[in-house]
Structure 1
Amino acid sequence: MALSLWKKTGPSKFEQAADGSMTLIEHVKELRDRLFLASLGLIAGLIVGFVLSQPTFDLLKEPYCSLPGAIDANGVCKEFVQLSPATGFIIKLKISLWVGIVVSAPVWLYQLWAFIAPGLHRHERKWAYVFVALAAPLFAGGAILAYAVVDKGLEFLLDAGVTGAGTTLEASAYVDFVTNMILLFGVAFEFPLILLMLNFTGVASAKRLLSWWRIVVFLSFAFAAIATPDPGPFGMTLLAAALSALYFVACGVAFINDRRKGRGREIYAGLDDDELSPLDEERVPVGASDPIESPTAIEAPTPVDKPMPIERRFDDMT
């Protein structure tokens, strides 16, 4: 009996939001609660990031230490130049913020998903799970690739300069350079998901996506040349080549999806929009028509009775 008293009755918030029974004020309150929980998760992530800021900085320092002139005579990596007393602390706060966002991502992403999921259909939620599951490894792959090649870009920039300066770099500028490279490569690797979303929703077929390959390759190189913080050719070329390769992989997945759904086998699938559709012309000889019967005479209409006088059609009451 005691257990039955604690049993929750009535629909849940998810069910209320899904069936439209939740009022506007309740939606606002739910958004407030979701934002509060997401903020708590972000604060906890910032604390973890503050604790892990020094190991993270040492990890970001590895590409710099791999440069030929970054090791002194004692075999120790040279220190960065610090132009302001607060530079070290500001870098620590930046690293804590980045690590906190990554560590608390499961919390704030879940709160965001729990707020928007009731407004989606069941099949839309299924595809959202698939795309989120693909987005995380794609972003991680781009970040790992950027971290693996950032030392090549640094070496090219230092060797190609005309100042003749050594390999001693300013700490804040170096951290911004590396983190921007990692963020750019990670976000750029989400590009195939846009193409797959167009294909899975039926907006563009795989054949149409593949027909854009010249434009996509050109835009990949243009985007890499403009957005990459590394002005050297190595990072830009690698990013453009990676985007082009991911584009062709997405087209391959789109062809598999079209074959699974039977797209391309429609009766007018091989025709352009301005092309006439084929018509099967079957000529059938026309024979003699059936004889037409002679028309019959129409009977004369029956005479209409003469109307009664008006004084006989109404009485005194009407």
Structure 2
Amino acid sequence: MALSDHLRELRARILKAGFAVLAAFIVGLFFFDPLFDLVWEPYRSAQDSLPEGTSLGTSSGPAAGFLLHLKLCGLAGLIAASPVWLYQIWAFIVPGLHPSEKRWTGIFAIIAGPLFLVGVLLGYVTLPKGLEILIGLNPDGLTNLVDFDDYLTFFSRTLLGFGIAFEIPVFVVLLNMAGILKGKTLGAHRPWMIVGTFIFAAVMTPSGDPFTMTFMAAPMVVLFLVSEVIARLNDRRRAGRAINAGLSPDEASPLDL
């Protein structure tokens, strides 16, 4: 494909992903109150387990309510439309693959979206504990007044960080399917990948507490190990196909003993 064709393809994918997010955003506007309660619940859970001295609900500016609607429904739309825009990312890469590798498109579409949502759900479950640890660091007698806009930013970073973290092993497998990354390479750099996973989790979790970081890093390590196994099996399948590629129908293939 020429560069102009690649740019047109990229524009089409971005528009499709954008329309999906916009449609989910509009639907979210009709469910703003349940979404607001859903976002507020982790803070209330953390607040109930701590002594008096924390307060949430402050906002500033005449347009604060309007901006809150946009941010909250935008976050909901981004998460709800994640299967669509994740597929668009992969669909943009597909034209550069061999026909035998394009069949993995459907598998990616099935796995990537739910895995992102699982990461978001795990981030939501662990958020109250992270907030409890952070709020618990306030000295006695000091009232913690939290602006809801700041809390929503913290909330969004946590959920999106968990969701993106769960997608990284999927893209590792896709790079292997495309012939860019070998399973043997993953095995040789496994210790560094584990260390890098914990560093990534420490950076991506805005709370910075070890509890939330471990809850992000541990599943990522497991997914990395699974992706390494899949990559090694795929490399072995490719090697066997390459050995037998030049054989005639009547010629015996070599046995790998």
Q: Give distance in 2, aligned partners of 1:198 and 1:33.
A: 23
Q: What fraction of aligned residue pairs are identical, expressed as a percent? A: 38
User: Deviation at 1:200?
Assistant: 2.4
Aligned match of 2:124: 147
User: Deviation at 1:228?
Assistant: 1.9
Q: Give distance in 1, aligned partners of 2:210 and 2:90.
A: 39
Number of residue pairs matched by the alignment? 241
Aligned match of 1:247: 224
Letter in 2 for 1:205: K
Q: Give distance in 2, aligned partners of 1:219 and 1:115.
A: 28
User: Deviation at 1:252?
Assistant: 2.2
Higher relative contact order (CA 8 A, sep 6+): 2
Q: Choose which of 161, 167, 171 in structure 2 pairs with 1:194.
A: 171
TM-score, reference length from structure 2? 0.75
Contact residue 69 and residue 166 of structure 1 kept, 8 A: no
**2:102 aligned counterpart, secondary structure:** helix
- Structure with a larger share of its residues in helix: 2
Aligned match of 1:8: none
1:157 aligns with 2:134: yes
Aligned match of 1:3: none
Contact residue 90 and residue 105 of structure 2 kept, 8 A: no
CA displacement, residues 178-236 of structure 1 (integer Å, 9 cap, x when unaligned): 11100011011111123212332334433331221111111112222223211222112
**2:58 aligned counterpart, secondary structure:** coil
Q: Give distance in 2, aligned partners of 1:257 and 1:115.
A: 22
Gaps of 5+ in 2: 244-257
Letter in 1 for 2:138: G
Q: Give distance in 1, aligned partners of 2:177 and 2:44.
A: 45
Contact residue 220 and residue 243 of structure 1 kept, 8 A: yes
Spell out the pairing of 1:198-209 with structure 2 (5 A cutoff). Answer: 198-209=175-186
Aligned match of 1:49: 28
Contact residue 153 and residue 234 of structure 1 kept, 8 A: yes
Change (3 A) 1:206 1:111: closer
User: Deviation at 1:123?
Assistant: 2.6
What RMSD, in angstroms, separates the aligned Cα atoms of the two structures? 3.8
TM-score, reference length from structure 1? 0.62
Q: Choose which of 37, 42, 46 in structure 2 pairs with 1:67.
A: 46
Gaps of 5+ in 1: 1-21, 267-318
Letter in 1 for 2:191: R
Aligned match of 1:83: 60
User: Deviation at 1:110?
Assistant: 7.2
**1:123 aligned counterpart, secondary structure:** coil
User: Deviation at 1:131?
Assistant: 2.2
